[in-house]
Amino acid sequence: MQKIVPNFWFDGRVEEALEFYISIFPHARITSISRYGDSGPRPKGDILVATFELEGQEFAIINGGPGFPHSPAVSLLVHCDNQAEIDRLWTALADGGSYDQCGWLTDRFGISWQICPAGLGAMLQDEDADKRERVMNAVLSMQKLDIAILERVYRGE
């Protein structure tokens, strides 16, 4: 059992969200579903709570109703090994949502994601301040991050 599990508050559309997330990530599965009974504030049979895994990370969703909308103040950071993975996730997750700057997007359910190259952190932590500055300026100029451009900028080309 994972000690800390991100738990998303939803107002309906939980089954749709589960299907959407499971379809996007290759190592994904629903691990449990509990449903409202006769006494719940939602219709009997609607999902109350579900747990699922994406790439080994456990998540939970509660179908709690209105009152707590999602915000970019919390996002899911996905480290991608190559540009093909960035391109695929960028397109799939934003389907019905919206793109933002610096590798951020919001999916159709209002969840914020950061789709980033796995090596970006190392570039931004390089001991050479000029390299860090060049990379940061490049990131700020992009929506979807481009590994080839970031690597060229990092090298000073």
pLDDT tens-digit readout, 6-37: 999 999 999 999 999 999 999 999 999 999 99
User: Per-residue pLDDT tens for 36-57?
Assistant: 999 878 899 999 999 999 999 9
Quote the pTM value: 0.93
Kindly indicate the confidence band of residue 75, based on its pLDDT and cuts at 50, 70 and 90.
very high
CB neighbours (10 Å) of residue 146? 18
* Residue 26 exposed, middle or buried by CB count within 10 Å (0-12, 13-18, 19+): exposed
CA trace torsion 98, 132, 120, 151 (10° rounding): 100
Kindly indicate the confidence band of residue 149, based on its pLDDT and cuts at 50, 70 and 90.
very high
Spatial CA neighbour of 70 closest among 97, 30, 32: 97
Query: Could you give the domains of the chain?
Result: 1-68 (3.30.720.100), 70-157 (3.10.180.10)
